[in-house]
Amino acid sequence: MSYEISGSTDVAKTIADTLPRKMHFDPSTVENIDRSVLGYLTKLNLFSDTNDGWRKVPIVWGTAERAYQVKHNKDIRDHFEKDFSNTSDARHWITNHLDLSKKWTITKATNKAKKKLDFDCAIEHMKRTFNKGDTIFTQLHKRTPNGTIYIYLRYIKNNRPYQCTYHYSEIFDHKLDKNNGYTIKRGFGNMDMGFQTVYELCRKVWDDGYYLKHEWL
């Protein structure tokens, strides 16, 4: 995004000096703000005295959105998925961001491998987040005349609301409906489809359809 910044029209300046000058500013999106903060912290070039000697402090990115964190911030499993133009850029990123006392391997990701990784991340998130007897709430976003419903999956943890709609989509390879708020689309069924959705999820993750409770919001 470009903005025009006009200079002073002081008569002592030349015509060229008084012409509007263009300066580029990135839009103030969450992504760009996050990137700028990460860039600033990286430039601080922080080091610390550790058991392995004087080492660079790794800047590990974490977000409040647990679905994103589990998928992209692999400090739990020491696995990172990022886009690089070549392996040289990947090695440079490893040097500046990761613990060099560990051995890192660079492999080319395939769609099949990404799906498997997303599936494993979602399963791991569910198992880490829920205990037996916890409740998943289904929230109705929309119902069509033919009985199709569009729902969210929500839960409460430490008195804060979260979603696990995304995790369901990754576990079942179910494409969320972006035209209806990125919801889970369920066709008409002669049963409580909210309960059925949670039951299927529990069966897949814990091999027990009644591992978690279900309620409608």
Token pair recorded at residue 39: 């860039």
Report the distance separating Cα 179 and Cα 60, nearest Å.
34
- Burial category of 173 from C-beta neighbours within 10 Å (exposed 0-12, middle 13-18, buried 19 and up): exposed
- Whole-prediction pTM value? 0.51
The closest alpha carbon to 187, from 153, 214, 138, 150, belongs to 150
The closest alpha carbon to 44, from 1, 96, 102, 7, belongs to 96
* Residue-level length of the chain: 217
Report the distance separating Cα 12 and Cα 105, nearest Å.
62
Please give the pLDDT value at position 17. Answer: 55
Q: Are 157 and 171 in contact (CB under 8 A)?
A: no
Domain ranges for the chain, please list them: 1-44, 45-108, 130-216
Please give the pLDDT value at position 96. Answer: 79
Torsion of CA 65, 71, 76, 80, to 10 degrees: -130
**For the segment 139-172, what is each residue's pLDDT rounded down to a tens digit?**
998 888 888 889 999 998 888 888 888 888 888 8
Q: Are 130 and 212 in contact (CB under 8 A)?
A: yes
Please give the pLDDT value at position 6. Answer: 37
- Kindly give the confidence (pLDDT) of every residue in the chain, 217 residues in length, as a single tens digit, with 9 standing for 90 and above: 444 433 444 444 455 555 555 566 667 776 677 778 878 888 888 888 776 678 777 776 554 444 454 455 444 445 566 677 777 887 887 787 777 777 777 777 667 777 787 888 888 888 988 999 999 999 998 888 888 889 999 998 888 888 888 888 888 888 888 888 888 888 877 788 889 999 999 999 999 989 999 999 8
In sequence order, the 6+-apart residues with CB closer than 8 A to the CB of 163 are 67, 152, 153, 154, 155
Please give the pLDDT value at position 4. Answer: 42
Q: Are 191 and 197 in contact (CB under 8 A)?
A: no
